[in-house]
A and B are shown apart, each in its own frame.
Chain A
Amino acid sequence: MIKDITIGQYFPGNSFVHKLDPRAKLIITVLFMVLIFMCKNFYSLAFMLVLLAAAIAVSKVPFKMFFKSLKPIVPIVIFTTILNIFYVTGGTVLFSWRFITISTKGIFTALFMAVRIVALIISSSLLTYTTTPTMLTDGLERLLSPLNKLHIQVHTLAMIMTLALRFIPTLIEEVDKIMNAQKARGADLESGNILQRAKALVPILVPLFVSSIRRAYELAFAMECRCYSGGEGRTRMKKMKFGLNESVTVLLSVVSIAAVVLINNLFGKII
């Protein structure tokens, strides 16, 4: 399961989406996430999904990559769907037995929630698949740079993010190694109730923390040796350009806000 994590994975390519400035992509993704929650009827939802599908088509990232990113959240989707079906009431009652009632509104809400969660994951995957983590954190750093005035160290935060993404696969490998080592010493990790299993994790977590601290120490040395001294005076190899392409795409996503609001009102809200 741990190998299914797709956070920060990059899918090399040369498409329009890949080349777009990360700042524009970040803005568009956030706008998309807001919009997908603004949709109140099937028409506006369909409109947003068509936009998402178009973006995926342009990016040339194979569709199965998105299925992969959806795998770990399937239980969450199922859980919220069931919860919504039974808890939301309103509209026509379709089924009623003792305390259980299923209404049209419940079903619609459940459906919308499921689609929204899936769309959220797909859109954020599209962002990370088409943007290298370095570009992503650089973009974030620049977008948030006004916060520097509030004495928030944006560069430091961005560097922490980069390093976290960099070390996810390394630490996953490490967990694997430690688990095997503990199993070889007779540790039982797979049986017992939840409490026993949680206890069994201690001999894995302790060495993991120790080795992470050691890694951090060495990494700090290595970074210092490469003249790292914070964000000041640093340049970037990859230049960012907020040009015509970026302006147009951001403008189009702003226009789609108006479109969603319009469609919502035109065809009536169902949730």
Chain B
Amino acid sequence: MNEIIKFENVGFKYVTDDEAADNVVISDLSLSIGKGSFVAVLGHNGSGKSTLAKLSNAILVPQKGKVTVNGMDTADESNKDSIRRTVGMVFQNPDNQIVATIVEDDVAFGPENLGVDPDEIRKRVDSALKSVGMYEYKDHEPHKLSGGQKQRVAIAGIIAMQTECIVLDEPTAMLDPRGRKEVMKTIKHLNKDMGITVVFITHYMDEAVQADRVIVMDDGTVAFDGKPKEVFRNTDKLKAIGLDVPQVTELSCLLRKDGIDIRADILNEEEFIEAFSKIAEVSE
């Protein structure tokens, strides 16, 4: 598969005055993100997942190794602009990334910076707002919207720039369950229907499960990498690095320990019900 973002033996640490402090955030990280994929990055606080996001569009530049976006080295200052046209980024707090006082003006901000023709911007803004389901709010003031709606506006702002890839740094962390659902639905739509590569950083397991590939970060490096089913069957190891697996996965894992023969790769309630009712039938 064609890769869009590639990390090669990347090392990064924050520079502080305190020499003795161990600030290594990313150590010897290698991974590549394929075009059109939907990757979830999991990890507990301080595992380096946010740094990973910032490294992927040249906000931060690695001290060791190399990060490339479509073959462009992020360390090269002259690539910065083209990299940010390729990889867009959505942050955790929707309030701190909305620039304008009217929804559609904010969505237009990115393409305006790119110097796109006014008529073309109009088209992009309208279609971006439609694709996140916020078109009817285009004249509204962002501060009157709910958190989930604001985050969708922020996502529309990146879509309007027509980036190939969107990196979302815990976009659901500050939202209520309903807002989280709205944002997840939007992200899936971007990936499945619009073919945009999505790198989704989160600490919610139930959200990570919906991705095609899950990368678990621990201590600045990749602990697990694979399909959700493959990753989440390692219940004990995941717990050891401070992560929770989805409740049903844990339940089936406990059942297995008690000698009940149930699949170890169950990720949601439906699968569990299906598998469990089969066992129930057999035992009858």
Contact = CB atoms under 8 A, between A and B. Distances in A.
A221 B113 contact: no
Contacts of A16: none
A54 interface: no
A132 B105 contact: yes
Contacts of A132: 101-102, 105
B121 interface: yes
Given A235-B117, A235-B121, A237-B122, A226 B101 contact: no
A218 B99 contact: no
A223 B121 contact: no
Interface residues of A, number: 32
Nearest to A221: B59
Contact of A163 (B95, B99, B102): B99
A66 B247 CA distance: 56
Contacts of A10: 101-102, 141
A62 interface: no
A133 interface: yes
A224 B118 CA distance: 21
A227 B110 contact: yes
Contact of B143 (A170, A227, A237): A170
A238 B117 CA distance: 10
Nearest to A230: B113
Contact of B97 (A8, A222, A233): A222
Contacts of A208: none
Nearest to B91: A222
Given A170-B95, A221-B59, A227 B101 contact: no
Contacts of B115: 233-235
B84 A227 contact: yes
B84 A225 contact: yes
Nearest to B114: A227
A80 interface: no
Nearest to A169: B143
Given A225-B57, A227-B113, A235-B112, A218 B105 contact: no
Interface of B: 57, 59, 81, 84-85, 88-89, 91, 93, 95-102, 104-105, 108-118, 121-122, 125, 139, 141-143, 157-158, 161
Contacts of B161: 226-227
B96 A218 contact: yes
A19 B11 CA distance: 54
Interface string A13-40: 0000000000000000000000000000
B105 A237 contact: yes
Nearest to A215: B96
B84 A235 contact: no
A221 B167 CA distance: 14
A237 B109 CA distance: 9
A132 B104 CA distance: 11
Contact of A218 (B91, B125, B141): B91
Interface in A234-271: 234-239
Contact of A236 (B88, B89, B98, B118): B118
A237 B93 contact: no
Which of A163, A166, A218, A236 has the most chain B CB atoms closer than 10 A to its own CB? Answer: A166
A176 B157 CA distance: 29
B56 to A, nearest CB: 11
10 contacts: A12-B139, A132-B105, A166-B101, A218-B93, A219-B97, A224-B59, A226-B109, A228-B113, A235-B112, A235-B115
B93 to A, nearest CB: 6
A219 B99 contact: yes
B109 A133 contact: no
Nearest to B98: A166
A163 B108 CA distance: 15
Nearest to A172: B143
Contacts of A235: 111-112, 115-118, 121
Contacts of B118: 235-239
A226 B102 contact: no
A165 B57 contact: no
A115 B66 CA distance: 68
A120 B266 CA distance: 68
B116 A226 contact: no
A225 B96 contact: no
Interface in A150-173: 162-163, 165-166, 169-170, 173
A133 B91 contact: no
A225 B55 CA distance: 12
A8 B116 contact: no
Contacts of B88: 225-226
A157 B33 CA distance: 40
Nearest to A229: B113
